A and B are shown apart, each in its own frame.
Chain A
Amino acid sequence: MRRWRPADLLFWGGLALVTLVLSLASKQIGAATGWKWLTKFPKGWELHADRAISTAMKWLVEDAALGPLRFRDLTRLLSALVEAPYFVLRDFLIDGFQIGQGQQAVPVLPHVSWLVVVLGFGLLAHRAGGFRLAALVVASFLYLLLFGLWESAMVTLASVAIAVPLGVGLGILLGIAAFRFRWVDTGLRPLLDLMQTVPVFAYLVPILFLFGFGAMSALVATIIYAMPPMVRITTLGLRGVPEEIVEAGRMSGCTPRQNLWKVRLPAARGLLMVGVNQVIMLTLNMVIIASMIGAGGLGFQVLTALRKLDVGAGVEAGFGIVILAVALDRLSQAIARRGPVVQAQGGWMARHPRSLALLVVLLVSYPLGVLLPALNSFPESWQLSTGSFWQGVISWINLNLYDQIEAVKVFALTWILVPVKQLLLGIPWPWGLALAFAIPAKIGGWRLGAMGLAMASFIAASGLWPEAMITLYLCGVSVVIAMLIGVPLGVWAGQNARANTVLTLVIDTLQTLPTFVYLIPVVMLFRVGDFSAMIAVVLYAVVPAVRYAAHGIRSIDSQLVEAGLVSGCTPRQLLWKVKLPLAMPSILLGLNQTIMLALSMLVITALVGTRDLGQEVYIALTKANVGKGVVAGLAVAFLAIMSDRIITAAVNRKRGEDHA
Chain B
Amino acid sequence: MKKTFTPVALALSAALAAGAASAEVESNDPIKITTHDWSGQIISATLMGEVLKKAGYNVEYVQADYLAQFAGLKTGDLDLAMEIWATTGQEALDEAVASGGVVNFGETGMKAKEEWWYPAYMEETCPGLPDWKALRDCAEAFSTAETAPKGRYLGGPVTWGGFDEERVEALDMDFEVVHAGTDAALFAELQSAYERKAPIVLWLYSPHWAPEKYEGKYVEFPPYEPACYTDPAWGENPDAAYDCGKPTGPIWKAGWAGLEGKWPGAARIIRAFHVENPEMGEMIYKVDVDGAEIPTVVAEWMGANESVWQGWLK
Contact = CB atoms under 8 A, between A and B. Distances in A.
A102 B59 contact: yes
Interface stretch (A394-402, A423-431, A481-489, A591-599): A394-402
A214 B29 CA distance: 17
Contacts of B296: none
Given A103-B23, A308-B209, A524-B192, A213 B64 contact: yes
A98 to B, nearest CB: 7
Given A106-B20, A523-B189, A527-B189, A208 B1 contact: no
B165 interface: no
B78 A213 contact: yes
A402 B4 CA distance: 55
B37 A304 contact: yes
**Contact residues on A (Cβ < 8 Å of other chain), bracket:** 35 or more
Contacts of A123: none
Contacts of A300: 37, 63
A524 B189 contact: yes
A213 B72 contact: yes
Interface of B: 1-6, 8-10, 12-13, 16-17, 20, 22-23, 28-30, 37-39, 53, 56-60, 62-65, 67-72, 74-75, 77-78, 91-92, 95-96, 144-146, 154, 157-159, 178-189, 191-192, 195-196, 209, 288
Given A108-B9, A208-B68, A209-B71, 18 more contacts: A88-B4, A91-B4, A98-B3, A100-B3, A103-B23, A103-B58, A106-B13, A205-B68, A212-B75, A292-B37, A293-B64, A294-B62, A308-B288, A309-B184, A520-B185, A521-B188, A607-B185, A624-B95
B199 to A, nearest CB: 12
Contacts of A101: 1-3, 28-30, 58
A109 B74 CA distance: 35
A595 to B, nearest CB: 22
Q: Is the interface of A mostly helix, strand, loop or mixed?
A: helix
**Counting chain A CB atoms within 10 Å of each CB, which of B20, B30, B183, B192 scores highest?**
B192
Contact of B64 (A103, A292, A523): A292
B179 to A, nearest CB: 4
13 contacts: A97-B6, A98-B1, A100-B20, A102-B1, A102-B58, A106-B13, A213-B77, A214-B77, A309-B191, A523-B185, A528-B178, A528-B180, A622-B67
A525 B192 CA distance: 7
Interface stretch (A135-143, A458-466, A608-616): A608-616
A349 B148 CA distance: 77
B198 to A, nearest CB: 8
B298 to A, nearest CB: 16
A294 B63 contact: yes
B63 A99 contact: no
B184 A624 contact: no
B1 A105 contact: yes
Contacts of B38: 304, 307-308
Given A102-B28, A399-B196, A610 B178 contact: no
Contact of A610 (B30, B72, B181, B191): B181
A624 B67 contact: yes
A303 B8 contact: no
Given A103-B56, A622-B92, A413 B181 contact: no
Contacts of A402: 196
A109 B128 CA distance: 66
A615 B4 contact: no
A204 interface: yes
A199 to B, nearest CB: 14
A395 B195 CA distance: 7
Contacts of A247: none
Contact of B30 (A95, A102, A398): A102
Contacts of A519: 185
